[in-house]
Structure 1
């Protein structure tokens, strides 16, 4: 009898060490097998190729995915797309893989949530290190994550047939098309797809909202700490940026064909390793170089972005998509985390706005710069003494105000609901605030909401009761929106302590996510008015880059 019990216990132990197979799924490419999650609550289908790319198609839209005979074992997370790391260059060029997480139970067809990862368009992946789906899965939704090309491999933009631009965005579009075509085989509803993303992923979602190429691929969108209207969302000088890259490799040319010949023959590791610095100018632009661009019309090439997003969102809005927008209260802490006296002094010598503004004269630019300086710093100069004021400035300029302005444009040009939130919760899972050294500051840093939506293997610490409550609230709000377009439907009134009202024209309403959930007005209204006035008067609404 004792021996029998030992055998049972041993078998249970072994079962936890060996992946248990999930049901096979047949898609157009072939048959897949996956595995069951460790807790038995969902199926995992990992590393499925949704498209292909290699050195011969570098800088172009991806090719169709491969097919296979037999059963494809989708049980392992695969290499990332090439990027720099503390371990050197990691990843492989053929990296376009997708992960599908399916609840074991739940009424089919299930709503689908497709996540676009962040990472400044140069880092990251759809892997479980940060985006483990356990919290969302509990609400009976299918969660999908994926990789897309990064850096120069994803965002070199030369305006030629060989390098038209936005290969990384076109990967994202290919992933959405794959989901639309195949998710029914996993028990998902292809007519109920929500895309969501944070930071560069949120900006990507905003760009996908503006893109005509994504029409009909999704029903709802959640834009977290990003906006296609942000000054850092677009590369406005793509050929110049490309010339900086080849110069770092020892070549001096501005000719697009010559640049392509050089970079197409450069190994992907050398290409990723290349880090040209943006020469300092008078505007407060970021050092990000590898960004989406407005594409030149090229016969036979499907573009992702054909005009400035503000023009696309205004003139050709998607009138059948409901959207949720939000930011954290202290986004800028992340931006200033490596500042010192030297970097602050360099910033202080520039205008306190980015180059997406254009002024009729240098004198007018100086007048507006003085207004912004007075607002944030009074009569003082920027210094490490007022570094938190600098953080507030970046919070408003790069994240908070562009998000609000974009939501206002959608409300003006579409009748679909728009929801706004403001995440100000300081808890034990505000991981980036801890990592950047500001753990004692109030509020939430950039990306601090993520670990209340995803379990993530990055942060293995015990979860406090208050944090568990926030996880419950956040995942319920997000999945309710994905299911039916309403984050707080009436039947959930007992689980969620507030009714989240959508914003309306001339009346932007915010769900303030703190220790409690409350409805309120626009955060930081004075800063909002300052930047809105500047952008209404001086925003560049044309692009002339070719």
Structure 2
């Protein structure tokens, strides 16, 4: 009887929203109970923040797949912002979604965009504001939190820590969308997922995993790929041992002793030490990231092969996709390390320490020769320093992002429509670092800042760039095609990649179609990986 009364209240709240005078809140029924969202008048949307999609993953369940949340009585005030543990702060009770809807109740269910945040699988949180440009395009936006670092990606191959908990959190959030978004005015059969950096890699992982089948129909990948050196851990037991030693745990390979210890360490300490561990790595690895799982009875694995194996075998969900990258991916991705961790001098002295870990060599002599060749390809005879900043940023942009990114886009395009974009526009909405103030090129993370806004728009060219990005993404979400026709805002048709014809939309103050962007650098890395790629078959025990 109580649930029936609450449902009537929810319907009444939505009916009231149809009146000319829109209230400051809206109630919506979910599987867990009634939630109340708040109207954001400046952006003209309703925001439902911090809705639990899974139970708090603590104690025995800390590293296991997520469990359903407990239902609640009464009205859940959806105004909670929370971060999962990172850098010594955060709350393990963090598995929430944020839902943003237009103020007017739609006559027909709206398409849905679900965003997965980036941050090296170690940092970040679901966006809780700045979605106005997308909502104006008549779509519903959902963002999420998921477990990060060791808490999300400890992979011991046992029931207590099978691996990929963070990716399974994302699946649970997508299942929540499937089961609840219709009550918010969304269409559960018309979901597009979008992610940036580690979020972009996560989106590709969702496409590659059987667990994601049927939960979304399209995907947008920005500045990341599941096949990047940093997005897959080929030796997760070693990662767990190395991290445990930083936490003063005895040097042991016994996974059951390790899991007992990892469950006992406070989240604040474990996330702080995790960040320290991450900062010690120079070989392109990030520490605790997705892994290939062992098959464990009664536990569904997210993946049991490397993403490279799955992709090259074409054993994945074939759907329309957009791949978006920034012109200077190394900018902001590895900017601060140039000075703060003295990468320039360390690379000049011992460049081979900075080779990607997924390149393997038979001898130290071969490794040194390859390191010399790569260094010469990017820096010539110059000393790595203040006069080679662009070369430095291109090295990291190519080795950590673009090579794997381009190859993923090409392979996906064999069986489904794939649109490729280079984002070059550098206005006032993106990131800024004093050391790089004279570089007028978009860097890592700048694209999404024109989609989810972190600051007011104060410039007409920025307003145009934001409007164009919102329209391109909304068109893709609605129609599966980012440019259905030429308009004043988008005076160009963006063709998908065709076999042997890699077309790309170059997005700057003007829009133009180019072909094979930076293909000489891509070809250079392709040749290296053809000969030295780490074997894809390995022991997951």
Mark the CA change 1:320 to 1:409 in structure 2 (over 3 Å): closer, same or farther.
closer
**1:43-62 map, 5 Å:** 43-52=46-55, 53-62=57-66
Partner of 2:320: 322
In the alignment, the residues of structure 1 paired with residue 194 and residue 113 of structure 2 have an alpha-carbon distance, to the nearest angstrom, of 7
Partner of 1:183: 181
Q: Shift in Å at residue 287 of structure 1?
A: 5.7
Aligned match of 1:506 in 490, 500, 506?
500
Q: 2:50, 2:81 within 8 Å by CA — same for their partners in 1?
A: yes
Q: How many residues align?
A: 511
Q: Shift in Å at residue 470 of structure 1?
A: 0.3
Does the residue aligned with 1:144 lie in a helix, a strand or coil? strand
Q: 2:94, 2:146 within 8 Å by CA — same for their partners in 1?
A: yes
In the alignment, the residues of structure 2 paired with residue 148 and residue 91 of structure 1 have an alpha-carbon distance, to the nearest angstrom, of 12
Q: 2:325, 2:422 within 8 Å by CA — same for their partners in 1?
A: yes
Partner of 2:14: none
Partner of 2:260: 261
Does the residue aligned with 1:90 lie in a helix, a strand or coil? coil
**1:383-422 map, 5 Å:** 383-412=385-414, 414=415, 416-422=416-422
**1:17-416 map, 5 Å:** 20-39=23-42, 41-52=44-55, 53-74=57-78, 76-84=79-87, 89-105=88-104, 106-128=106-128, 132-252=130-250, 253-275=252-274, 276-277=276-277, 285-286=283-284, 288-334=286-332, 335-340=334-339, 342-348=342-348, 349-351=350-352, 353-412=355-414, 414=415, 416=416
Mark the CA change 1:505 to 1:363 in structure 2 (over 3 Å): closer, same or farther.
farther
Farther off after superposition, 64-73 or 257-266: 64-73
Q: Shift in Å at residue 374 of structure 1?
A: 2.2
Q: Shift in Å at residue 318 of structure 1?
A: 3.5
Q: 1:219, 1:320 within 8 Å by CA — same for their partners in 2?
A: no
In the alignment, the residues of structure 1 paired with residue 72 and residue 36 of structure 2 have an alpha-carbon distance, to the nearest angstrom, of 13
Q: 2:403, 2:526 within 8 Å by CA — same for their partners in 1?
A: yes
Does the residue aligned with 1:420 lie in a helix, a strand or coil? strand
Q: 1:165, 1:292 within 8 Å by CA — same for their partners in 2?
A: yes
In the alignment, the residues of structure 2 paired with residue 451 and residue 40 of structure 1 have an alpha-carbon distance, to the nearest angstrom, of 16
In the alignment, the residues of structure 2 paired with residue 91 and residue 127 of structure 1 have an alpha-carbon distance, to the nearest angstrom, of 15
Q: 1:30, 1:69 within 8 Å by CA — same for their partners in 2?
A: yes
Q: Shift in Å at residue 363 of structure 1?
A: 4.3
Q: Which runs of 5+ in 2 are unaligned?
A: 1-21
Deviations 1:400-453 (A, max 9, x none): 2211100111123x2x2001000111101122xx13631220211111122211
Does the residue aligned with 2:351 lie in a helix, a strand or coil? coil
Partner of 2:461: 466
Q: 1:314, 1:410 within 8 Å by CA — same for their partners in 2?
A: no
TM-score, normalised via structure 1 length: 0.89
In the alignment, the residues of structure 2 paired with residue 371 and residue 107 of structure 1 have an alpha-carbon distance, to the nearest angstrom, of 61
Q: 1:277, 1:287 within 8 Å by CA — same for their partners in 2?
A: no
In the alignment, the residues of structure 2 paired with residue 493 and residue 278 of structure 1 have an alpha-carbon distance, to the nearest angstrom, of 46
Q: 2:89, 2:271 within 8 Å by CA — same for their partners in 1?
A: no
In the alignment, the residues of structure 2 paired with residue 139 and residue 517 of structure 1 have an alpha-carbon distance, to the nearest angstrom, of 21
Mark the CA change 1:194 to 1:278 in structure 2 (over 3 Å): closer, same or farther.
closer
Partner of 1:427: 427
Deviations 1:427-485 (A, max 9, x none): 01122xx13631220211111122211122xx34x520000000010110011011111
Q: 2:293, 2:540 within 8 Å by CA — same for their partners in 1?
A: no
Does the residue aligned with 2:322 lie in a helix, a strand or coil? strand
Q: Shift in Å at residue 271 of structure 1?
A: 1.4
Q: Shift in Å at residue 111 of structure 1?
A: 0.5
Partner of 1:489: 484
Farther off after superposition, 395-404 or 171-180: 395-404
RMSD value over aligned CA atoms?
2.1
Does the residue aligned with 1:536 lie in a helix, a strand or coil? helix
Q: 2:192, 2:218 within 8 Å by CA — same for their partners in 1?
A: yes
Deviations 1:472-503 (A, max 9, x none): 1011001101111100002x533311100000
In the alignment, the residues of structure 2 paired with residue 51 and residue 27 of structure 1 have an alpha-carbon distance, to the nearest angstrom, of 13
Deviations 1:353-394 (A, max 9, x none): 312123344444344333322211113343343232111111
In the alignment, the residues of structure 2 paired with residue 336 and residue 58 of structure 1 have an alpha-carbon distance, to the nearest angstrom, of 34
Q: Shift in Å at residue 278 of structure 1?
A: 6.8
In the alignment, the residues of structure 1 paired with residue 193 and residue 438 of structure 2 have an alpha-carbon distance, to the nearest angstrom, of 33
TM-score, normalised via structure 2 length: 0.90
Q: Shift in Å at residue 226 of structure 1?
A: 0.4
Partner of 2:18: none
